[in-house]
Amino acid sequence: MIKELDKDFTSLNEYISQLNPSKIFILVDENTHNHCLPILLPNLETDAPFEVIEIEAGEENKNIGTATQLWEIFSEMEADRKSLLINLGGGVVTDLGGFVASTYKRGIRFINLPTTLLAMCDASIGGKTGIDHQYLKNVIGTFALPEAILFYPKFLDTLKFEELRSGFAEMLKHGLIADEKHWNDLISVEKIAPQFIEPFIQRSMEIKNEVVTKDFKEENVRKILNFGHTIGHAVESLFLKKGNLIPHGEAVALGMICETHLAFLCGLLDVDVSSVIISKIKRLFPYIDISEFKNAEIMDLMFNDKKNEDGNINFSLINGIGSCLYDQKVNAEQIILVLEFYKNMGD
Ligand SMILES: NC(=O)c1ccc[n+]([C@@H]2O[C@H](COP(=O)([O-])OP(=O)(O)OC[C@H]3O[C@@H](n4cnc5c(N)ncnc54)[C@H](O)[C@@H]3O)[C@@H](O)[C@H]2O)c1
Ligand SMILES: O=C(O)C(=O)C[C@@H](O)[C@H](O)[C@H](O)COP(=O)(O)O
Ligand SMILES: [Zn+2]
């Protein structure tokens, strides 16, 4: 269930009343503790006891260590199966919180209150939960749906520009894979700022939700949501391993540039269409220098992608603006050509 929160958070209180939890845990990171919790708490109406649990912000904390800390806190506080976890944060909080909730005592209920654009349009929806392990993105996790996804666009007002832009990448992805009008609307916004993006949040959420509803466990069509991620996640992992993190959306933007060129090389896209897409993305996102990474080490990570089957790397590639094919097999030479294309592209 996806719903916009009104200013007094009525629908959140209605859900809490329906769920009648024995105890409520609110998961935040230090930024959502400062910026979002002061908005939530005055509007929270419940007789259930609640505890706020704060984790350190950042992708580097989406790991088994933090998950273990949370499981231990739940045990110490005797959380039972009627407990409720409210994830108040970006994709790190909703992925980690969803994973911990879906595994503690084989599953307690959770609600996502996304606070970044990326979490609103993507991470909070669809039930993919999880953590990174050995620098592999989301390699441990579950498919577990929240009881509700309640979004409050005003939360975006305190988001840094780079974080807002990161979410914008996943919105552009939604346009490219499923809705040409959404793509055209997004590339026409005056600038990446909440007031200009807010009108398009609902459509982006709908696109993701429509795809997930067709294929919850990502056995077929849901793979199109992974456009840009086969290469994007490999690069994101390499920077994670270096301890020099890049925002997920920037890795996805890099991946979409590469995989759009790959679609052209595979004959799925005309050169004029791929050029327009690449130039639009290039204009919006910073160039990420990957020259320090050998093509072989990038490809090694791609062989660990969760879409793969029978040892083959499966790509999801657009075959037009608003359309995407999954389980596309390409040869190693084409992947090398694409990585060299990106490396030579420069800023
Ligand atoms: N499960 C999925 O379907 C899915 C989809 C897309 C991305 N993801 C995952 O989501 C993660 C990226 O999520 P993200 O981009 O939201 O990053 P994030 O959760 O790290 O949040 C980005 C930064 O913004 C801060 N922040 C959050 N809300 C804020 C607010 N309202 N005001 C001020 N600061 C705020 C956070 O503390 C953090 O420092 C990645 O791990 C990615 O793999 C998951
Ligand atoms: O929900 C999906 O399916 C997606 O692919 C959405 C992606 O934007 C997101 O980054 C997701 O976490 C990637 O999934 P993964 O299975 O490659 O980890
Ligand atoms: Zn993503």
Q: Would you list the domain boundaries of the chain?
A: 2-158, 161-345
Residue nearest to atom 20 of ligand 1 (CA): 58
Q: What is the pLDDT of residue 9?
A: 95
Catalytic residue among 173, 208, 223, 261: 208
Q: Residue 332: pLDDT above 90?
A: yes
**CA angle (27 as vertex; 40, 44 as ends), nearest 5:** 25
Q: Residue 147: pLDDT above 90?
A: yes
pLDDT band at 123 (very low <50, low <70, confident <90, very high): very high
Q: Does any ligand 2 atom lie closer than 6 A to the CB of residue 138? A: yes
Q: Identify each DSSP E strand in 210-313 by its residue range.
A: none
Q: Residue 346: pLDDT above 90?
A: no
Pick the CATH number of 2-158 from 3.40.50.1970, 3.20.20.450, 3.40.50.10490, 3.30.365.10: 3.40.50.1970
Own/partner contacts of 325-328, CB < 8 Å, gap of 24 or more, are 325/224, 325/268, 326/220, 326/221, 326/223, 326/224, 326/226, 327/220, 327/223, 328/266, 328/268
Residues with C-beta less than 6 Å from any ligand 1 atom: 29, 31-32, 35-36, 57-59, 62, 89-93, 95, 115-116, 118-119, 122-123, 126, 128, 137-138, 155, 158-159, 163, 166, 170, 248
Q: Residue 28: pLDDT above 90?
A: yes
Of 59, 95, 98, residue with least CA distance to 237 = 59
CA pair distance 298, 75, nearest whole angstrom:
40
How far, in Å, from the CA of 90 to the mean position of ligand 1?
A: 3
Q: What is the mean pLDDT of residues 291-320?
A: 97
Catalytic residue among 233, 261, 306, 307: 233
Q: Residue 234: pLDDT above 90?
A: yes
Q: What is the mean pLDDT of residues 12-23?
A: 97
Q: Residue 7: pLDDT above 90?
A: no
Q: What is the mean pLDDT of residues 72-88?
A: 98
Q: What is the pLDDT of residue 8?
A: 87
Is 128 catalytic? The answer is yes
Q: What is the pLDDT of residue 347?
A: 79
Atom of ligand 1 nearest to the CA of 130: 1
Pick the CATH number of 161-345 from 1.10.8.420, 1.20.1090.10, 1.10.1240.10, 1.10.1200.10: 1.20.1090.10
Do residues 74 and 39 lie in contact, with contact meaning Cβ atoms separated by under 8 Å? no
340 burial level (CB within 10 Å; 0-12, 13-18, 19+)? exposed
Beta strand 314-320 with 136-143 is unpaired
Query: Any bridge partners for residue 2, and if so which?
Result: 149
- Residue 144: which residues within 8 A CB-CB, separation 6 or more? 98, 99, 101, 102, 107, 110, 127, 129
Q: Does any ligand 2 atom lie closer than 6 A to the CB of residue 218? A: yes
What is the torsion angle, in degrees rounded to the nearest 10, for the CA atoms of residue 289, residue 295, residue 298 and residue 302?
Answer: 130
Residue nearest to atom 3 of ligand 2 (CA): 225
Do residues 168 and 197 lie in contact, with contact meaning Cβ atoms separated by under 8 Å? yes
Q: What is the pLDDT of residue 206?
A: 98
pLDDT band at 309 (very low <50, low <70, confident <90, very high): very high
Of 317, 119, 120, residue with least CA distance to 224 = 317
Q: What is the pTM of this model?
A: 0.98
Substitution candidate for ligand 2 out of 93, 116, 124, 128 with most atoms within 8 A of CB: 128
CA pair distance 5, 230, nearest whole angstrom:
34
Is 208 catalytic? The answer is yes
